[in-house]
């Protein structure tokens, strides 16, 4: 059945859905929350919870990456952020936290991020995480990957993340700049690679064919992103995840059984959004703003991404995320309010138990309804 609608005589558009426009439906069976498993595995790595910390300086430091790892998730460090530019970025983060004027904040961010990325700091930060005994993950943007990936791999990273607003299997670049060939790059690496973002079936299918272990789903849908306003690009997450999950199923058949994980990345502000992402087909979620709200997050109540300090066209804004609760309380509770900002995993377990599903793969089959707004 076609979901296209007519915008005008010369244009049609496909009807898509945000998390606010859908809801999950209980079945005839319920179960105790103690009988629910939220475990997730990718490649050889097993996690107690399906949560990745977004590689953003306001969210992940070596300390919070370790903390999330010990809570059962995966912290992904931004390897082109402040932690790999400064021996001690804490004074820089503190100075940024004191700035409330948006124009002054942009000026200051451009200044502090102008410092060069240092290979020895990449090694030191990843070594610090490894020494804590948790899975080590680091992220680079596509245009920095060729420059720094050898340093990252030598440092002993377990999972390598290539993350941008959008990542394609084939990127057309200026003739004097060597484009990143993802298929060749992933084939030559000895570590599993997670790539994204992708927001469409075709893009996701192409990324899966590169050999990626996981695909990040999202395009400018995060709380700190202004891509919708600056570029006019928008990919409502409920439909985007369902589309990429469809690509996963088709690629599973095409490849003879190779499973590529779908990881929702963006628009996940509350536990309800996290739950709906899993219901739409995500295997795990990458959280930014939801974790930036932690009182012990490195952003000190502020949240921003790499696109917020672009030299020519910022496509994000530094936002006041507040300080809801300590990091561990946001993940495992107890929640002090009913707004979905704390005890994210407790809410996921409750939703799974209420709808009668025992693990995350089963929960992907839960019924979903469209809710008129």
Let me know if residue 121 belongs to a domain. yes
pLDDT of residue 177: 53
For residue 1, pLDDT over 50 is answered with no
Residues 214-270: pLDDT tens digits?
A: 999 987 555 555 556 666 776 889 999 999 999 999 999 999 999 999 999 988 999
For residue 168, pLDDT over 80 is answered with no
Let me know if residue 301 belongs to a domain. yes
pLDDT confidence band for 175 (50 / 70 / 90) = very low
Number of independent structural domains in the chain: 1
Q: E strands of 237-328, at which residues?
A: 261-265, 284-287, 302-303, 319-320
Let me know if residue 113 belongs to a domain. yes
Let me know if residue 243 belongs to a domain. yes
Pairwise CA distance, residues 223 & 288, whole Å: 8
Let me know if residue 1 belongs to a domain. no
Residues 10-25: pLDDT tens digits?
A: 888 888 999 999 999 9
State the pTM of this model. 0.92
Let me know if residue 9 belongs to a domain. no
For 32-59, give one letter per residue: b (16+ CB within 10 A) or e: eeeebebebebeeeebebbbbbbbbbbb
Let me know if residue 5 belongs to a domain. no
Residues 102-130: pLDDT tens digits?
A: 999 999 999 999 999 999 999 999 999 99
Let me know if residue 251 belongs to a domain. yes
> What is the distance between the terminal CA atoms of the chain, rounded to a whole angstrom?
22
Residue 158: which domain range? 21-370
Residues 292-348: pLDDT tens digits?
A: 999 999 999 999 988 777 777 666 778 898 888 999 999 999 999 999 999 999 999
Please indicate whether residue 216 or residue 5 has the higher confidence score (pLDDT). 216
- CATH number of the domain encompassing residue 31: 3.20.20.70
């Amino acid at each position: 059945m076609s979901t296209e609608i007519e915008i005008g005589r010369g244009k049609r558009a496909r009807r898509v859905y945000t998390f606010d426009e859908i809801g999950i439906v209980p079945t005839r069976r319920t179960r105790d929350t103690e009988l629910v498993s939220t475990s997730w595995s990718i490649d050889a790595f097993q996690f107690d919870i399906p949560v990745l910390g977004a590689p953003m300086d306001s969210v992940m430091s070596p300390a919070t990456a370790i903390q999330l790892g010990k809570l059962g998730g995966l912290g992904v460090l931004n390897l082109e952020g402040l932690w790999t530019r400064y021996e001690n970025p804490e004074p820089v983060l503190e100075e940024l936290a004191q700035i409330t004027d948006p124009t002054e904040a942009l000026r200051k961010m451009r200044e502090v991020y102008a410092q060069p990325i240092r290979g020895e700091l990449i090694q030191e930060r990843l070594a610090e995480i490894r020494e804590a005994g948790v899975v080590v993950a680091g992220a680079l943007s596509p245009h920095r990957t060729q420059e720094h990936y050898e340093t990252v791999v030598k440092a002993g990273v377990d999972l390598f993340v290539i993350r941008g607003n959008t990542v394609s299997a084939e990127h057309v670049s200026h003739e004097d700049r060597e484009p990143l060939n993802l298929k060749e790059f992933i084939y030559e690496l000895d570590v599993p690679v997670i790539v994204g973002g992708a927001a469409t079936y075709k893009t996701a299918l192409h990324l899966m064919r590169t050999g990626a272990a996981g695909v990040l789903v999202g395009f400018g849908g995060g709380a700190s992103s202004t891509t919708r306003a600056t570029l006019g690009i928008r990919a409502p997450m409920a439909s985007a995840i369902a589309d990429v999950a469809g690509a996963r199923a088709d690629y599973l058949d095409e490849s003879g059984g190779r499973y590529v994980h779908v990881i929702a990345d963006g628009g996940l502000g509350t536990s309800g959004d996290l739950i709906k992402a899993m219901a739409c087909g995500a295997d795990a979620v990458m959280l930014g703003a939801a974790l930036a709200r932690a009182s012990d997050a490195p952003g000190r109540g502020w949240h921003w991404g790499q696109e917020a300090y672009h030299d020519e066209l910022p496509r994000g804004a530094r936002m006041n995320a507040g300080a809801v609760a300590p990091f561990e309380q946001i993940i495992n509770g107890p929640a002090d309010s009913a707004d979905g900002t704390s005890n994210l995993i407790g809410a996921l377990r409750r939703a799974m138990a209420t709808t009668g599903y025992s693990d995350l793969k089963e929960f992907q089959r839960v019924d979903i309804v469209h809710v008129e707004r």
